[in-house]
Amino acid sequence: MEDQLNFKATELRLGLPGSSEEHENKKAATSPPIPKNNKRASPDSAAEECSTSSNLIDAPPTKTQVVGWPPIRSYRKNSLQLREAYVKVSVDGAPYLRKIDLKVYNSYPELIKALEKMFNLANINGSDFAPTYEDKDGDWMLVGDVPWNMFVSSCKRLRIMKGSEARGLSTCF
Amino acid sequence: MPKRANSFPEEVLEYVFSFIQTDQDRSSISTVCKSWYEIERWCRRRIFIGNCYAVSPRMLIRRFPDVRSIELKGKPHFADFNLVPEGWGGYVYPWIAAMASAYPWLEEIKLKRMVVTDETLELIAKSFKNMKLLVLSSCEGFSTDGLAAIAANCRNLRELDLHESDVEDLSGHWLSHFPDTYTSLVSLNIACLGSELSFSALERLVARCPNLRSLRLNRSVPLDRLANLLRLAPRLTDLGTGAYSAEWRPDVFAILSRAISGCKELKSLSGFWDVVPSYLPAIYSICPGLTSLNLSYATIQSPALVKLVSQCPNLQRLWVLDYIEDVGLDALAESCKDLRELRVFPSDPFVVEPNVSLTEQGLISVSEGCPKLHSVLYFCRQMSNDALITIARNQPNFTCFRLCIIEPKIPDYLTLQPFDVGFGAIVENCKNLRRLSVSGLLTDQAFDYIGTYGKKLEMLSIAFAGDSDLGLHHILSGCDNLRKLEIRDCPFGDKALLANAAKLETMRSLWMSSCSVSYGACKLLGQRLPRLNVEVIDERGHPESRPENSPVEKLYIYRSVAGPRFDMPGFVWTMDEDSALRVT
């Protein structure tokens, strides 16, 4: 339990301060979800929050998804995402790379969790690591700044940075 | 001496009947008298079967011995939204197998939401030498190997349309199976295929088919190959581009523009995946001639969209993403006075807050500015009763009105009231409304209006709405022309269904999922109405393992003269006369 608390304290969480695991709830509800009024923070206020709170990045919250609602054909849903969302993932110090399909995940926390599992790392968003990605323009970005869907469509590869470089990126904590 | 039913020879009657094409009229002729029935059935060439389980292949062939064109539909509409579990049914093989021997001269096969296998396609390729048209709309179960068989064998094929089917894409080489001697292609829609096509095979195919009028490419065809194809097919009337993106190069742009402007007969455009806005002006030259534009995969913003649609004064159909926003729809209403059909799809339906400024206002603008608008599909995040009333008043000619307010059960954002009066206005004013999809917060009152005024309504879709059985009762007792009713997540149960059981025989089908219909009621319906197939779909195991009054997961009821089907998977049970007595 203690470990979990520590984990949470250093965890890069994507939500408003105080909001918990809503994003991670993927269960298809049989009754309609009650909309939570989690407003997306404007870019300015997000930057301010950066320096004051440990809950860093406000990605627009996605609600619990009900099967088949809204009524959009999967053909259309698939077409609007990437055709292939497989990206290479490298971790500084690891001997080989892995590949993951970004389409499988619905949010940043899910992705981070999966990466931690895949590479057997405790705290990718802690002080020693920083998840970064190369976007369509070839620039290296810190994971978490843009809305999830935008990230999925622009991410070309992932790199989990480690060490001093990574610490530099995490100063927002 | 028996009176003669007619004094014309059969051949004359047959000739007269050949001018009568619609199914309803044909059906009417066949009921006049026995000899007309006989003559009609021998000369009916076109068959439409809206539910493949409503009749059997054997019955079809027995009555109509010489059919040339068949259209079959399989799964219920809600299968489009993943509500019908995998393996439910809709297999077309038995039909093809039966027709292979009975209808060697079959020319057209149109299938929708059916399971088609490679084996089926191979059988089609082998059995029907005169096959001219094959349309597989929202079908699944086959691969490009099956397509290769069609390409290799159907010498007279004019049209191959894979409209939004789920095809196992093994390779792009199937296209090379069209022999060099094959030149009859008129229409090819392969937009749904995932992998790269063999470009050289595609170009050679297009080059040797002088009658090609419709070509819908898949995403893999890059923009810089499009110009070549268009030069080979300048008489195209319908084009679906591949990915509409490339690095900006003025020479590529110039070549593309010239090639597109060479296609002076282009009326319809689609595709536009991954659009790079700087290449859009390449189509400007043919915009004035466009009647149909599908930009529903084009993730471009409102200004670019506005620039485009304002150059299409003859546009009749527009499909677009909500990036167009209210301001874009205002522009559309200004420029496109001939608009008949509008579909606005959501760009990001799973985000809670709106990512674009598209509201009820956009729909108000088009309903006001486009006098011929009769068909609408509109996804939005807010709506008001006032807006709906205004829209209904502006445009009483709607035949199809499908509104999807993205968040279930939300009320009128201005008054916080349900949308009863709003949809009431729609059904009351739009006297020709044939298809309606409702959304947002609705009470039973909304369905009272629909039952009272929706006299011409043929198809109704309801989700997360209503308070009680009364809602369903209003619909079933009021909508005289209802053919298809599909309901999900509504508190409708046994009472309304049992009270209106006879109504179900006048409809094609009823779908209810996540409602409150009990297993006991299903059994009762199945027992009472032998001409209905009452199918319970429940992935939790046999309904007998739960109490009688426990609601079933999903229910699909359809009329049939073929009796219960035999190809059901383990999670579907037919309630028939014996089921009430049967012990598991």
Whether residue B366 lies inside any domain: the answer is: no
Per the domain annotation, does A39 fall within a domain? Answer: no
By residue range, what is the domain housing residue B549? Answer: 507-583
Q: Do A63 and B352 touch (CB under 8 A)?
A: yes
Look at B352 and A70 and tell me if their CB atoms are within 8 Å.
no
User: Would A33 be classed as within a structural domain?
Assistant: no
What pTM does this model have?
Answer: 0.81
CATH number for A106: 3.10.20.90
Q: Is residue A120 part of a domain?
A: yes
CA-based nearest distance A105→chain B, Å: 13
Per DSSP, the residues of B159-198 read: EEE-TT-EEE---GGGGGGS-TT-----EEE-TT--S---
- Chain B residues with CB under 8 Å of a chain A CB are 78, 80-83, 138, 164, 166, 192, 194, 219, 273, 296-297, 299, 345-353, 355, 379, 404, 406-410, 437, 461, 463-464, 488-489, 514
Number of domains in chain B: 2
- Domains in chain A: how many in total? 1
Return the CATH number at B10: 1.20.1280.50
pLDDT band at A45 (very low <50, low <70, confident <90, very high): very low
Q: How far is CA B518 from the centre of its chain?
A: 30
pLDDT bin (cut points 50, 70, 90) of residue A10 is low
Q: Give domain status of residue A69, yes or no.
A: no
Residue A50 has what pLDDT?
35
Tokens of B198: 């063999």
A104-118, B430-444, B563-577: range with lowest mean pLDDT: A104-118
Percent of chain B with pLDDT over 90: 91
Residue A148 lies in a domain: yes
**Structural domain containing residue A163:** 86-167
pLDDT, one tens digit per residue, over B506-542 is 999 999 999 999 999 999 999 999 999 999 999 999 9
Contact A35 B407 (CB under 8 A): yes
pLDDT 10s digits, B203-225 = 999 999 999 999 999 999 999 99
Q: Per-residue pLDDT for B351 more than 80?
A: no
Tell whether B39 is covered by a domain.
yes
What is the crossing angle of helices B118-127 and B93-102, to 10°?
10
CA angle at residue B378 from B375 to B380, to 5 degrees?
165
Q: How close A76 comes to chain B (CA, Å)?
A: 8
- Name the DSSP class of B417: -
Contacts of B349 in chain A (CB under 8 A): 70, 72
Token reading at A129: 């690591």
Q: Determine, yes or no, domain membership for A35.
A: no
pLDDT tens-digit series, residues B138-183: 999 999 999 999 999 999 999 999 999 999 988 889 999 999 999 9
The candidate with the shortest Cα–Cα distance to B309, out of B345, B250, B274, B269, is: B269
B539-547 contact pairs (CB < 8 A, 24+): B539/B85, B539/B571, B542/B573, B542/B584, B543/B519, B543/B573, B544/B519, B544/B584, B545/B584, B546/B519, B547/B519
A133 part of a folded domain: yes
Which one of B353, B461, B463 has the shortest CB-CB distance to A39? B353
Tell me: pLDDT of B411 over 60: yes
User: What's the Cα-to-Cα distance from B378 to each of A9, B109, B141, B472, rounded to whole Å?
Assistant: 44, 32, 31, 24
How many Cβ atoms from other residues are within 10 Å of residue B473's Cβ?
20
B351, A71: Cβ pair inside 8 Å? Answer: no
pLDDT at A155 exceeding the cut of 80? yes
AA identity, residue B307: K
B37 in a structural domain:
yes
Tracing tokens 């002088």 back to the chain, one arrives at B210
Q: Are B350 and A65 within 8 A, CB to CB?
A: yes
ipTM score above 0.85? yes
